[in-house]
Amino acid sequence: MKYFFFPCATGVRCQNRERFAVVAIDERGAKRLKTGKVKNKIILWNVPFFRGISFFFLGIIALFYNYWESLNLSGFVSANGVSEKVAGKLNVKKESVVITLLMILSLIISLFLLGFVPSKLSFLFIGLSMNFVLRNFLIAVTKVAILFLILLIFRFIPLMQDLYKFNGAANQVRVRQGEVQKVGKKDYYSPLNILNVIVFTLILSVFVITFVGISLAVYWNILINLAIFLVCCGLGYEICWLCEKSYFTKMLALVTNFFVCAKPTITHDEVARIAYTEVKSLYSKDGEVQEKEIARSTLLAEMQTELQKKEKFDKADIDWIIATVLNCSRAEAKLVRSFDQKTYREIMKATSARASGKPLSAIFGFVEFYGLKFNVNKKVLSPRMETEILVEQVLKDIGDKKNLEVLDLGTGSGAIAVTIAKMTKSKVVAVDISKSALTVAQENAKMHNVKVDFVESDLFDKLKKHAKFDIIVSNPPYIRTLDIAGLDEEVKNFDPVTALDGGEDGLEFYRRISQEATQHLKNGGRIYLEIGAGQFKAVEKLLQEAGFTNITFKRDYAKIIRVIRAEYDKRK
């Protein structure tokens, strides 16, 4: 086996000799990456039997380490807490404390579930009044049956399901890359994976130790049972290795493999492929680390280090920077395994600018929104990912309807208006009080070859009084005036204040829009507004007072209510 895979809580780890890559998914669906050198290597790898013992124990250590590492990469763990204090007092790394505690807790649970419970139940069912060999055999079978029942329960626990899907994804990658012979259609059931080896070894050892039934002095019992367990570790691995050689034996391995593997989704599969390609990209055909070009993993590590100097910056910026410099999509950028020196310098220059507080839109002069590029500058607000949720709701309701009339209030760069015009067959009007902003919006409309009627107006002021729309959409300023000074430097230093300042309570524009929108909406028309954190109740009340009904909301990736939708009908 050239590459080793270890499923994690939210991702996959792949390693090859001295290098590893851990890829995890955060709560927003972004993929995080960490690479480095392997500290604990599998020894005696070319020696049958002994390699299984090494694989078993180092595999367990790797599973615990990677469980912690994937949670850390995903942002699901806090930098503070009891483990932080303990680590400080003992002068050790926090991860060492957490992993040790997890291993101790897992050992206690395992001894209870896999040792004490099966033993008590077995003796309860079997009793002691029968032939010694037959009794031990029946007790061993009962223990194994109970273990299978516990494994079946685990399979339906949500947290474990993701682990099993990542394990299945790793198996698929091994098969597709030629690491394992392809047998059958279900590649995600490849027997030689760490979880299957562990489960098979535990079941084998429980059966053998129980059947042998050593009953000597305590220390002899411990030593002999330990020796039997080590033998089972070596044999367990070799049996799993043999099971990968044919379709028939692979199906036999389903006895245990079924409980630790599940069909992966596209996302699980992509994470495993990224981990594999990151490790593989470090080596040339002769097995040496490539030096002429910069390996992807090396570049990513340097970018992460640079950006981590400013912890508030999202690591997802890395994907945007690489894709932008390469002038390709993020998906295509992930396939690039190495970079020439010129590209490397351009990427690191952009990364340094980002680390200094400059937003990506200011670095490159454009931003990607809903899959489209939009030119931006200091005269307009750079559209955010959250605003895509606003547009998505509008597009979902428009569907295949033709010639709907849509009004975009405070269009800025024109991202909302242009996207709706591009994705639907609607007639779109966009207004903004800033002439400079309208110039940028017109350029973006022209670039995407869409027709949008732009009007210089303070909300509804310059619109014709009889103008009626099916839909009004807006991402108005909603930051409280006193809060602007405390915003991130990339926002307050690069976005126009007029696009941020929502007045004393942040609701100034919502009051105006809710009061005036009814004069420009058709019966049954709808309004869609992006709102700030904690503003839903206040904006909902304003809309209700203006006569809007059927008010609903949509949360963003951080579970904050970000979009509010309401209907207007004069007949109600």
pLDDT of residue 451: 95
The CATH class for the domain spanning 285-356 reads mainly alpha
Residues in Cβ contact with 107 at an 8 Å cutoff, skipping those fewer than 6 apart: none
pLDDT in tens, 420-474: 999 999 999 999 999 999 999 999 999 999 999 999 999 999 998 889 999 999 9
pLDDT of residue 87: 44
pLDDT in tens, 463-518: 988 899 999 999 998 888 777 666 665 565 555 666 666 678 889 999 999 999 99
State how far the Cα of 417 lies from the Cα of 427, in Å rounded to an integer. Answer: 10
3-state secondary structure 215-233: CCCHHHHHHHHHHHHHHHH
Residue 330 has pLDDT above 80, yes or no: no
State how far the Cα of 471 lies from the Cα of 521, in Å rounded to an integer. Answer: 7
What are the counts of helices (DSSP H) followed by strands (DSSP E) for the chain?
Answer: 22, 15
Query: Tokens at residue 134, please?
Result: 């037959």
* Confidence band of 567 (pLDDT split at 50, 70, 90): very high
pLDDT of residue 456: 94
State how far the Cα of 10 lies from the Cα of 36, in Å rounded to an integer. Answer: 19
Residues in Cβ contact with 159 at an 8 Å cutoff, skipping those fewer than 6 apart: 9
Mean pLDDT of the chain: 80
Handedness of CA 30, 31, 34, 39 (dihedral sign): positive
Query: Tokens at residue 470, please?
Result: 């099916």
Q: What is the CATH number of domain 372-568?
A: 3.40.50.150
Query: Tokens at residue 151, please?
Result: 């494994």
pLDDT in tens, 45-62: 788 888 888 888 888 887
Give residue 51's Cα distance to chain centre.
33
Residue 99 has pLDDT above 70, yes or no: no
Contact present, 76 and 24 (Cβ < 8 Å): no
Average pLDDT over residues 35-39: 77
Residue 90 has pLDDT above 50, yes or no: no
Per-domain residue ranges for the chain?
4-274, 285-356, 372-568
pLDDT in tens, 126-172: 655 566 677 778 778 877 888 888 888 888 887 788 889 999 998 88
